[in-house]
Structure 1
């Protein structure tokens, strides 16, 4: 009596089976892990098969939104109000705004946040986002439970915590009482080598050092970086990955600085400044209050501008690094959708999570705890097509984050 695996071998040669499986959607492959132990090992654990599937499916990848919620239980007692952080929860939102729960592979932890995403791999960490740390205390204490997770397959790999001792030594030598005002981070792939790198840049109030974790080498190292002005804080902590580099955009200070996009090349481990598009009217630069690098369109770097009139413009760099290749995608005014944005029109209260060239924008509304899909056309008013609201938990308030990730089989071996 032949086993299932032997029957498969009789009917189809190995290379034919692999070629067929590599061309199937991820949802079907996950279902087929029940066929046999061999298929399960191939689909879940074989990095070569995962990379082959990723290359063939790259143009048809499903892009989902990863929602992470951080419940805080509020209780009243004789000593006053207490706040208790509950374990973080994760959900996936697909194209149709259908939601499914995700099982976090490690032990439940509080305040686990998403710190980067690339090729279906997500970097997670326990990070105290608003803590001020006194001089002399190691900042590595503020990065706990770092790991790389594939929400589609459940793959998880621990990442050792970084050490910021070099920065602390410098500050101690200078005898300056300083706090860590902000930390920037990003995650991406070096295409030439296939290695993945996680970048952490703490701002020590005037001194910034760059720490890079190589997944392949499984170690951190400090990278010498040019002087980066601490007075031009970057608008988002999470850097945007595109074309082998992680990007952050600096805040603009009216009358002093024009905004700049800083790109950290993961291969050379060097910074460079990127050109921004020239807007239709020069006076618009005076009115711009926010500039961001929110998302990617087909791998292209994007920027979003917003002015005092609450108009937002989205641009894509069609040829990476070439200033003349910036193309305006569309422009819309949030006041054209009062039922969605009111009363929080300011860009500080919402973030674009996903942008497509056809004018589709998925937006996170911070105060309302909602995700909204909007359809924009160049000459027409935007239309809201889908909405998803975070479910309220009795006795709790919830913080939530949303980020884009691809459905892949990609993993990174130890």
Structure 2
């Protein structure tokens, strides 16, 4: 058990910390001649002082593909040959990615804020690549690098809609077909609607495919079957749920796709899981010693493990963070505790703010919190450092963490 109580306040985001700051320049499409990477770039001064380096093109691409995207953006400023080399899609789509910013709603408009808080948005939140096809859209979920959107061809929300999965960085998108299957008795197509909950699963380690899960719920939000869509087959399959009949899911905001398995929070202190083929079903109990049994804990993923957290509002507003150390045995370990008002520079028990954790960093023990009125902060739990990330109005809501991905899908995507 590891508890943290002392915090160091900082006024700006830390420099040199890969988990909290990234410098993103808009990606360009410049390439070398014939679309190939140009020769290893060098300045005239360097060529006079040092012997030339003649590396095979494949070796150069392989080296730079292991360089973080932030560094590639900086290398573009060295010279035109460096700009062309670091803009090569073969390099960019393989470079390591991490949390780069947040999508959010601002006065009803979909927007994006860079993690660094600097520069123009890394992503165009208007998703203009489908302009002229859809008049309006709402984002149902963001899973790492992909968005699941509900799109309409007019501004009348009562009209039929499409569910669309898109990569905002590459502009590729796929329209999900209606949920349907052949009736076992007469062979006719049977369609399911309306969709109440829909969950997107995507792993950047396998960027060529994604999956979508839809519980086939009744009017009481109960279900016994699950529909699973695979981008590889382009079809839905219906499988029998092996969870308890009274499983009632929290909704789109409480889902985690981890190690090829979808994790969903329920209203009964359980996390239920299912794999992409609908063959392995599990139930994981939430941490036993939760301080507030009447309040649901939230879930997220970081460093390849499942995390859960809860803020106790009744007393001194403590944040509790657990990690699932043993996935097979369902063993949770309390990793951190922290007094939330202190992170915002306030005295415990002397304010009436409503605090919320809206994200956890996928690569380090860094969480993001808001008081839902004035400001947001990031807290490095391991090093006990607080950073004010931004100030905003009460309209700053529905925050979705985003990790860019430049890899392309199959050719049938738009």
Establish whether TM, by shorter chain, passes 0.5: yes
Shift of 1:149: 0.9
Q: Is the 8 A contact 1:199 1:213 kept in 2?
A: yes
Q: Is the 8 A contact 1:186 1:238 kept in 2?
A: no
Shift of 1:240: 0.9
Residue 156 (structure 1) aligned with residue 171 (structure 2): yes
* 2:69 alignment partner in structure 1: 26
SS in 1 for 2:232: coil
Structure 1 or 2: larger strand share?
1
* 1:316 alignment partner in structure 2: 323
Work out the CA distance in 2 between the residues paired with 1:220 and 1:28: 41
Shift of 1:377: 6.6
Work out the CA distance in 1 between the residues paired with 2:92 and 2:301: 23
Residue 186 (structure 1) aligned with residue 200 (structure 2): yes
Residue 264 (structure 1) aligned with residue 280 (structure 2): no
Residue 14 (structure 1) aligned with residue 16 (structure 2): no
Q: Is the 8 A contact 1:122 1:149 kept in 2?
A: yes
* 2:112 alignment partner in structure 1: 91
* 1:387 alignment partner in structure 2: 389
SS in 1 for 2:233: coil
Q: CA-to-partner distance for each residue in 1:201-241, whole Å, 9 max, x for gaps?
A: 35332443423222222333333323554573426544112
Write out aligned runs for 1:52-91 (5 A): 53=94, 57=96, 61-69=97-105, 71-72=107-108, 88-91=109-112
Work out the CA distance in 1 between the residues paired with 2:207 and 2:59: 28
Shift of 1:295: 2.0
Work out the CA distance in 2 between the residues paired with 1:8 and 1:203: 57
Alignment counterpart, residue 286 of structure 2, candidates 251, 254, 276: 276
Q: CA-to-partner distance for each residue in 1:339-397, whole Å, 9 max, x for gaps?
A: 6794333xxx62331157975321244x427432134479xxx774213133x6xxxx9
Work out the CA distance in 2 between the residues paired with 1:115 and 1:210: 18
Alignment counterpart, residue 106 of structure 1, candidates 84, 108, 129: 129
- Closer, same or farther: CA 188–405 of 1 in aligned 2, 3 Å: same
Q: Is the 8 A contact 1:200 1:210 kept in 2?
A: yes
* 1:350 alignment partner in structure 2: 356
Alignment counterpart, residue 142 of structure 2, candidates 102, 111, 116: 116
Residue 246 (structure 1) aligned with residue 262 (structure 2): yes
Shift of 1:3: 6.2
Q: TM-score if structure 1 supplies the norm length? A: 0.66
- Closer, same or farther: CA 24–90 of 1 in aligned 2, 3 Å: same
Q: Is the 8 A contact 2:343 2:377 kept in 1?
A: no
In structure 2, stretches of 5+ residues that fail to align are 1-31, 41-52, 184-192
* 2:23 alignment partner in structure 1: none
Residue 125 (structure 1) aligned with residue 149 (structure 2): yes
* 1:147 alignment partner in structure 2: 165
Q: Is the 8 A contact 1:248 1:293 kept in 2?
A: no
Shift of 1:24: 2.4
* 2:400 alignment partner in structure 1: 403
Work out the CA distance in 1 between the residues paired with 2:172 and 2:397: 23
Q: Across the two proteins, how many residue pairs are aligned to each other?
A: 340
- Closer, same or farther: CA 27–377 of 1 in aligned 2, 3 Å: closer
Structure 1 or 2: larger helix share?
1
Q: Is the 8 A contact 1:302 1:315 kept in 2?
A: yes
Alignment counterpart, residue 232 of structure 1, candidates 248, 251, 254: 248
* 1:171 alignment partner in structure 2: none
Shift of 1:66: 2.0
